[in-house]
Amino acid sequence: MIYGYAGKVLRVDLTSGRVSTEPLDESMAREWLGGRGFVAKKLWDEVTAGTEPFSPENKLIMAAGPLTGTLLPSSGKLHSGCLSPASGGYGDSNMGGHFAAELKYAGYDMIIIEGRAGLPSILVIDDDKVEIRGAGDIWGKGCIASEVELKRKLGDDFQIAVVGPAAERLVRFACISHDFGRQSGRAGVGAVMGYKNLKAIAVRGSKAIPLKDPALALKKGEELFEAVFAKPGYKEWTPYGTAGVTDWVNEVGAFPTRNFKSGYFNGYKGIDGQALRDRIRITDKGCFCCPIPCGKYSTGVVGGKRFFVEGPEYETIAMIGGDLMLPTIEEVAYANSVCDDLGLDSISAGSVAAFAIECYENGIISKEDIGRHVQFGDVDSAVYLFEQMAYRRGIGDLLAEGVKRAADRLGRGAERFAIHVKGLEVTGYEPRNAAAMLLSYMTADIGAHHNRSWAITYDIAKGRLSTEGKAEWVIQLQHTRPLFDTLGICRLPWVEIGFETKWYEEIFPVITGLDYSWEQLLNISERIWNLTRCISIRHIPGFGRKDDMPPVRFVEEPIPDGPTAGGHLTMEDAQKLLDDYYRLRGWDSNGHPTREKLQQLGLDFVKI
Amino acid sequence: MELQVRAELCSGCRVCQLVCALRNMNECNPKKSTLKPIGHFPEPGRYEVKVCNQCGACAEVCPVGAIHNEDGVYIIHEDECIGCMQCVDACPYGVMFTHPDRQAPFKCVACGECVRYCPTGALVDATGQVKGGSAR
């Protein structure tokens, strides 16, 4: 027996209404660990070539990991994945809060959601009792109101994942929301849940997670918490959370501003971590078992309206604050609250709104198309555009497709303003003076996302425009960071306060009974990385090198102002970075894993 | 130990529940812990933490005297408990807990584990004997 797992997989076919459980296969646990590994393996095994993201045959898979719900810092991550409506290929997104731990306490490591319900539905999991019920009048409601209503009906101790109006209308960057402010934001996982007519999943569990050695797990867990308490970042980083990095990103000229036209926002002090803490924060809000709560629950008044919102965290500050040039933290937080209730990924929503405004400024979209004048720096413009896209009203119907598809349809040079890779909008780091960060966005498996490799500090340490050694570093990060998503825990203690990986290596066998070294765990992470690549190759016609290309703005337009004014990497640099990257990965020049590489990683079953 | 709550510091992480259940039940299961953080969201946006202050209301109603005051801490002697659950109803703070696995209710034994590992300092020992995680 392998410990650390709840031991069961829950399979829900929404078309037939059939619910079943399967024992978790032991080899699955050994070879794919959990979380992202389970998502990737199941998508490979069960979703065949030719499947469209919006089809009953696409599956939404939610998985915890072997460490989820156990006593170690920040052990509350859920990984959700499917074929992405943004890219058409592999898509996943992780979410904090308390859902993942509760899922395991209910007895499940993974939920596989298949088919499509005939009517709007919810899934209620109460230990062994699992039911599909009608969504009733919560269909159509915002994420916040829906969660309030479900907690009222089912009980406050249910953990709830819900989608909003954006997902109901298949907005390609709709998210899954949980716990009044946590999201699986990226890759359109919420849109797939909405397509399936699944408004919410509620879970409550009363069971124990079996541990290899519970007494030692307590002792070791305590040791890990002591180690966190001893880190200076525990007290220095936590008061600001991810928002604390805002000043630094501006000081190094990498803050997305005005649809990534610039890397420096003059008014950044108005929207930084200090402003958040001083002006709007009510309480810290932590995910399960987290000693460094990054959630900063906030309130304020904008335009006479009182808002409550978790955050804004850094990505929202960057993509709604900087990229839309909103001058105050109150306005960023208010716009954030609108996105959260509509169920829009605040990263993509910010980027799409910025794209729309720049298209408008350049005469590609008219005032009549939009229905009003819109401009950067104006919270009403931002909120108006968010609502248009979420409800697919007017131009919103086009914007709901994301910047890539919108630009393709608009033509007339709109592509230059569409800041994405693989159809997924770029996140909060302006990379045209940061080679490793640029390569990170180019090669992230779900499309442009910082979570797989956050390499900008390396660029600054090693020379920003230099391409030397960058591919190697990015690959290392692409194995390390997603490993946290595989184990079902949060990477932030490691990223933000320097909590050493040796601690995870030490506690892993105490929980699971498996004696894996960190190196071995990284090898599994590499196996998963190659499989997610193959999933995109299988599902996206002609997928390869061309899909790893950066937005043209990043390799053709110099930054106009701020610390990085004048500079940028070139397309030649981008090609060189890719050459290095493919060679070091054991992929061919079109970015396909070679047969030898697949064999070496135990991926013999993969035929592409 | 005298458990006190500074609710404004709580972040709802539930480390307290996990260490409580592991220490006292040898199980990784927050539903077998003897305290409970509760979030009040979306409004007003705060946490409360339900904890036992060893008031003894449970012992007063116990028809068989199974709950004993041992140096100021009320301890349930499970071998004496008849499972009538009167103590659960009588507890003014909602911190006499039950679980389908167990015949007897369970309650805080003032071990101090939650205070030691509360990452935010929301749980404190008013006597100062048990030092909290954030105080290190």
Helix (H, G, I), strand (E, B) or coil at A129: strand
Q: Are residue B92 and residue B112 in the same domain, yes or no?
A: no
Q: Is residue B136 in a domain?
A: no
The answer to whether B71 faces chain A, any CB pair under 8 Å, is no
Q: Is residue B130 in a domain?
A: no
Strand ranges (E), B2-42: 3-5, 36-40
Say if residues A45 and A61 touch (Cβ distance below 8 Å). Answer: no
Burial A408-445 (b: 16+ CB within 10 A, else e): eebeeebbbbbbbbbbbbbbbbbbbbbbbbbbbbbbbb
Q: Are residue B45 and residue B65 in the same domain, yes or no?
A: no
CATH class of A8-204: alpha beta
What phi, psi does A273 have (nearest 5°)?
-60, -35
Q: Average pLDDT for residues A107-126, to the nearest whole number?
A: 98
Say if residues A165 and A396 touch (Cβ distance below 8 Å). Answer: no
pLDDT tens digit sequence for A23-65: 999 999 999 999 999 999 999 999 999 999 999 999 999 999 9
User: Taking the CA of residue A207 as centre, how many other CA atoms within 13 Å lie in the half-sphere pointing to its CB?
Assistant: 21
Q: Is residue B18 in a domain?
A: yes
* A293:B14 CB<8 A: no
Q: Is residue B46 in a domain?
A: yes
Count chain A–chain B contacts defined by CB atoms under 8 A: 117
Asked if residue A274 has pLDDT above 90, the reply is yes
The count of structural domains within chain B is 2
The answer to whether B118 faces chain A, any CB pair under 8 Å, is no
Domain A432-498+516-600 bears CATH identifier 1.10.599.10 = yes
From residue A338, give the alpha-carbon distance in Å to each of A238, A332, A409. 25, 10, 27
Long-range residue pairs from B36-40, CB within 8 A, at least 24 positions apart, any chain: B36/B94, B36/B95, B37/B10, B37/B12, B37/B13, B38/A156, B39/A179, B39/A180, B39/A285, B39/B12
Distance CA A355, CA A324 (A): 9
The predicted structure's pLDDT at residue A567: 86
* A148:B30 CB<8 A: no
* A288:B31 CB<8 A: no
Q: At A537, which amino acid appears?
A: I
pLDDT tens digit sequence for A411-441: 999 999 999 999 999 999 999 999 999 999 9
What phi, psi does A176 have (nearest 5°)?
-100, 135
Distance CA A228, CA A222 (A): 10
The residue of chain A with its CA nearest to that of B7 is A283
* A208:B15 CB<8 A: no
The answer to whether B119 faces chain A, any CB pair under 8 Å, is yes
Residue of A205, A225, A284 lying closest to B133 (CB–CB):
A225
The predicted structure's pLDDT at residue A281: 98
Cα B60-B95-B109 angle, rounded to 5 deg: 75
**How high does pLDDT run on average in chain A?**
98
> DSSP H helical segments within chain B, as ranges?
15-25, 57-61, 86-90, 113-117
Q: Are residue B43 and residue B81 in the same domain, yes or no?
A: no
Distance CA A255, CA A562 (A): 10
Q: Is residue B118 in a domain?
A: yes
Q: Are residue B20 and residue B45 in the same domain, yes or no?
A: yes
Q: Are residue B71 and residue B58 in the same domain, yes or no?
A: yes
pLDDT tens digit sequence for B87-110: 999 999 999 999 999 999 999 999
- Tell me which chain B residues have a C-beta less than 8 angstroms from the C-beta of A218: 19, 22-23
pLDDT tens digit sequence for B64-93: 999 999 999 999 999 999 999 999 999 999
Domain that holds residue B12: 1-51+108-125
pLDDT tier at A387, thresholds 50, 70, 90:
very high
ipTM field: 0.97
**How high does pLDDT run on average in chain B?**
96
Which residue spans of chain A are classified as CATH 1.10.569.10?
A: 232-424
CATH class of A232-424: mainly alpha
pLDDT tens digit sequence for A285-344: 999 999 999 999 999 999 999 999 998 999 999 999 999 999 999 999 999 999 999 999
The answer to whether B13 faces chain A, any CB pair under 8 Å, is yes
Which residue spans of chain A are classified as CATH 1.10.599.10?
A: 432-498+516-600
Chain A closest-CA separation from residue B15 CA (Å)? 5
The CATH number for B37's domain is 3.30.70.20
The residue of chain A with its CA nearest to that of B118 is A291
